[in-house]
Amino acid sequence: MYNDVKLEKGLYNLSGKSFTAALEELDPSAAYAGTELASLDAYERQLKRYNIRVNGSDCDMVEKFFVSTETAVLFPEFVKRSIRKGFDETVLSAVTAVRTVSESSQYLGCVLDDSAAYGTTAQTVALTAASVTEGTTAVTLQKFGRLINASYEAVRKQRLDVFGVMLRSIGVKLANAVAKQAMTVLKASASGISTSALTYADLADLYGCFDSFDMTTVIASPAVASKIAAMEQMKDSKAEANGKMYLPFGSELVKSSAVDNATVIGIDRDFALEFITSTGLVLETDKLIDRQLDQITVSLTCGFRKITPDAVKVLTITA
C-alpha cells in the first residue's frame, strides 16, 4: 500500500524509468480500482499520505515538502509536473501527430514515397507502389533549457499553487521556444499560395490546397490571428469555452508567436509532424531534495520531422 512505500533519492535515478513509474511499480494504481483513491496516480497518493495540499483554499507552502527527508523527495516531481503542465498547454499539443523517443541525439526516420497515382489496375498489370525507405538526412536533436534562480529562503513561505503557476509559466515559454523549431520544419519546402493582403478568401484557398488530407489546424502569429478573428465571416464561427476558435470550414485557429507575421500554416495535425525527444524534462533532483534551490535547471533535448509533406500547406503574405 502507498503508506508503506519508502521514499528515497534513488527512485529518480532508475534507468529508463521516471520517478512516477518507479512509484507505480512499488504501489500499482490497479490495486485501487473501485476505491476512493482510484483517480490518483502513485505520486498523488504520496501527497495524500503526507497531507501535502498543492492547491485549493487550504493550500500548503513550499516548506511543507521539507518537513522530513522522505517528503523532500517528492518536491522535484512537483516542480517537474508544474513545468510540464505549462509545456503541454501550448501549440505543440495542437500540431504534433506523434511523439517519438530516440536513444541518441541523431534520429533517422523512415520516408514514405507515395507519389504514384491511385486508380484501378487491370488484371496481370502490376499494382502501383508506395515505398517506405530509411531516410538519408538525420534530425539532430537540440537542447532547450532554462536556469531558475530561487533560493529556498525566498520561496519557503510561498503557497504551492502560486509557485506552481510561476513554474507553469516557465513551461509555457520553454515550449514556445521549442515551437519555433517546429514551425521552421513545417514551413521548409512546403507548397502553398501567396497573397498581398490577407482575406477570408485566401484562407478558403488554403483550405482548398488540401487534397487527400484535411486542414484541421491553421497556425498564425498573434497579430495575424487577431485579423482572422476580426473577419466578418468569423462572426458566426464556433468558439469553445476553453478558448479554442474554429474557422467556418472547421479548422482550428491556433495562435503562436513561433510563426512570423508573413506566414499562415495549414496542417492536418494527424499526419504532419513528428516530435522527437531523447529525454523528458530533466531537473537536477538531488539539489532540489537538499534545498539547494539557488539554481534550478530544466532542459529538454528534442527535434522535429515532417512526416507527410502533403499534410502541410503555407499561405505567404507578401505585403
| C-alpha cell belonging to residue 59 | 493550500
Which amino acid belongs to residue 295?
Q
Range of 38's domain? 1-49
Whether 62 is in a domain gets the answer no
Residue 88 has pLDDT above 80, yes or no: yes
Whether 8 is in a domain gets the answer yes
Q: Per-residue pLDDT averaged across 22-32, rounded?
A: 95
3-state secondary structure of 225: helix
Q: What pLDDT, on the 0 to 100 scale, is given for residue 151?
A: 87
Task: Say if residue 19 is in the same domain as residue 132.
Answer: no
Residue 125 CA, chain-centre distance (Å), reads 46
| C-alpha cell belonging to residue 274 | 513528428
Q: In what order do the strands lie in the sheet with 245-246?
A: 192-195, 312-317, 263-267, 217-220, 252-255, 245-246
Task: Say if residue 39 is in the same domain as residue 109.
Answer: no
Q: What pLDDT, on the 0 to 100 scale, is given for residue 237?
A: 73
Q: What pLDDT, on the 0 to 100 scale, is given for residue 254?
A: 95
Whether 76 is in a domain gets the answer no
Whether 80 is in a domain gets the answer no
Pairing of strands 252-255, 282-283: unpaired
Of the pLDDT bands very low, low, confident and very high (cuts 50, 70, 90), residue 210 is: very high
Nearest 5°: CA angle at 61, between 56 and 165?
Answer: 60
As a three-state string, the secondary structure of 15-82 is: CCCCHHHHHHHHCCHHHHCCCCCCCCCHHHHHHHHCCCCCCCCCCCEHHHHHCCHHHHCCHHHHHHHH
Task: Say if residue 32 is in the same domain as residue 107.
Answer: no
Whether 87 is in a domain gets the answer no
Count of domains for the chain: 2
Task: Say if residue 277 is in the same domain as residue 134.
Answer: yes
Which amino acid belongs to residue 281?
L
Of the pLDDT bands very low, low, confident and very high (cuts 50, 70, 90), residue 241 is: low
- pTM confidence score: 0.88
Whether 15 is in a domain gets the answer yes
CA distance 314 to 218: 10
Task: Say if residue 145 is in the same domain as residue 25.
Answer: no
pLDDT in tens, 112-148: 898 889 888 888 888 989 999 988 899 999 999 999 9
Residue 239 has pLDDT above 80, yes or no: no
Task: Say if residue 23 is in the same domain as residue 102.
Answer: no
Task: Say if residue 139 is in the same domain as residue 252.
Answer: yes
Task: Say if residue 217 is in the same domain as residue 275.
Answer: yes
- Residue 194 has φ and ψ, to the nearest 5°, of -135, 160
Task: Say if residue 134 is in the same domain as residue 45.
Answer: no
274 and 80 Cβ atoms separated by less than 8 Å: no
All residues at 6 or more sequence positions from 63 whose CB lies less than 8 Å from its CB, including other chains: 156, 157
Mean residue pLDDT of the chain comes to 93
| C-alpha cell belonging to residue 75 | 518536491
Task: Say if residue 38 is in the same domain as residue 184.
Answer: no
Task: Say if residue 192 is in the same domain as residue 45.
Answer: no
CATH code at position 234: 3.30.2320.10
Q: What pLDDT, on the 0 to 100 scale, is given for residue 166?
A: 96
84 and 171 Cβ atoms separated by less than 8 Å: yes
Q: Per-residue pLDDT averaged across 175-182, rounded?
A: 96
Whether 64 is in a domain gets the answer no
Whether 88 is in a domain gets the answer no
Give the number of C-alpha atoms closer than 13 A to the C-alpha of residue 122, restricted to the C-beta side: 2
Task: Say if residue 134 is in the same domain as residue 275.
Answer: yes
